[in-house]
Structure 1
């Protein structure tokens, strides 16, 4: 098993096509086929199911692809660190950002690192907190902004901020940031929320429990953008951090109000795996990310957030 074979495996898995993979790898199709076949022969199992719609990973192939991504990412990081110039901060840093704050910080982070540490190569990933946690555990990410960390054994966490949750409704509902609403008002409407494996869904159910109710979710949508679209069209109400809907409230596409529950909030942390030595590049990116978030909290671009004084 070698790097070329693993690259072939991942490229075929991502494209679903040997032909397309060969084009991306700048190889002839037969060479890619041989690499996949040699891997299957070596492991004694099929890695792909050949279907009329394309190449699909088998269970064994999925497990190998998962490990291959981690292995290749570690090799890229090691190569970048070994080659770094004396005194220069250089390397590959994979950053995980919550979907809800990616618009706020992704471009400023790229711009700042380009100015201060141009030899740092950023890999940005945006996802829900559960996915980011798993990618940290798997070694895909070097640093992530997330919430809902209940077991910090494998990751080092720095508390950053507390962010309030808001009721979000169609504009005609007339919700106002100046007047909080009880959860019972949300529950009078169809509730649009993520699935149960999502951290925001857990927070929603905790809010309902404190109100002595059960959150009856009418529509599940694992995308804040989709939740907002459905609410704007009158299909129900939802509960989100204010940062998710600040633009829509400004444009009057939605209305929102704070929940009348002081515990309706999420604790945001900066997380870094304990299992990996922190490179100078990772440290530089972490500092830049915290600095940008603090600035957004201070100047009001990040609404309803309380920055923790202990954060650096």
Structure 2
């Protein structure tokens, strides 16, 4: 079994056809089929079920696919580390970011990174907990670095505390909420709320806080993005419970108002795979994310937030 065979195998698995995969890979179909037969013979298993409509993975094939993705990423990372030791960072880097941080972290960090490291093929995914599962993408080797909340299942990953910020009650501009005047959970329970869909971690944080006080959660609408929820808040459709960073731009422009919820906090964590160290490109991004966040907090733009030591 070699890297070339694994790449051929993954291409066929993705396309579902040996013929189309051969065309994509610019290799003769008989030669491609021979490589897969050799791989099956070596492993002693059948990797594909073949039919007139194409091929589908067997159980053994699915297992190899899951392992091969991480293995090839590790191989590429080792090769890239050797290159980057003596050259500017290059290669590929996939980062999963929470949509809440778009204005304060994601956009400025990505802009700066592209200027500094133009040879890196950067892929940014705005992952939502419970929807795209940024933590599982890192665990499966489909993302190199991610920012998630600390209530995600992180036991199998390397973690580093990133930020702590207040969860806020956010209302339309005339609701009278003040960032300098925290509100209690009793106040939150009195409002109709629009929240992320379960099992989103921001939803679970407010659910847990209210349940511990035996207070009701009056959910009038569920959405999958802060952009949607805050757009509805702005239109006067209700209130949202989201971190300050979600509402940063709308608050600055006077389109919403907010107040921190007493005793309720969101802790953000940087995660990466435990068994595969970050490439140089990944380490530079990790450092840049911290620098951007620290600058925003120090400048007073990111209120109700503190950088983790």
TM range (shorter): 0.7 to 0.9
- The residue aligned with 2:268 is 268
- The residue aligned with 2:259 is 257
- The residue aligned with 1:201 is 203
- The residue aligned with 2:11 is 7
Deviations 1:205-240 (A, max 9, x none): 122134431323232212111111222333321100
Instruction: Work out whether residues 77 and 279 of structure 2, in 8 Å CA contact, stay in contact via their aligned partners in 1.
Output: no
- Structure 2 counterpart SS, 1:186: helix
- The residue aligned with 1:192 is 194
- Scaled by the length of structure 2, the TM-score of the pair is 0.76
Instruction: Work out whether residues 148 and 267 of structure 1, in 8 Å CA contact, stay in contact via their aligned partners in 2.
Output: yes
- Scaled by the length of structure 1, the TM-score of the pair is 0.76
Deviations 1:53-93 (A, max 9, x none): xx999999987765565455445434434544625444433
Deviations 1:252-274 (A, max 9, x none): 33222222x1x211112222221
- The residue aligned with 2:142 is 140
Unaligned ranges ≥5, structure 1:
none
After TM superposition, the structure 1 = structure 2 runs for residues 67-106 of structure 1, keeping only pairs within 5 Å, are: 69-84=69-84, 86-106=86-106
- The residue aligned with 1:223 is 225
CA separation of 1:157 and 1:65: change in aligned 2, threshold 3 A:
same
- Structure 2 counterpart SS, 1:302: coil
- The residue aligned with 2:42 is none
- The residue aligned with 2:110 is 110
- The residue aligned with 1:124 is 124
CA-based RMSD: 4.0
Equivalents in 1 of 2:93, 2:80: separation in Å?
10
Equivalents in 1 of 2:60, 2:219: separation in Å?
36
Unaligned ranges ≥5, structure 2:
40-44
- Structure 2 counterpart SS, 1:271: strand
Instruction: Work out whether residues 47 and 61 of structure 1, in 8 Å CA contact, stay in contact via their aligned partners in 2.
Output: no
CA separation of 1:64 and 1:246: change in aligned 2, threshold 3 A:
same
Equivalents in 2 of 1:306, 1:287: separation in Å?
17
| 1:120 shift after superposition | 3.4
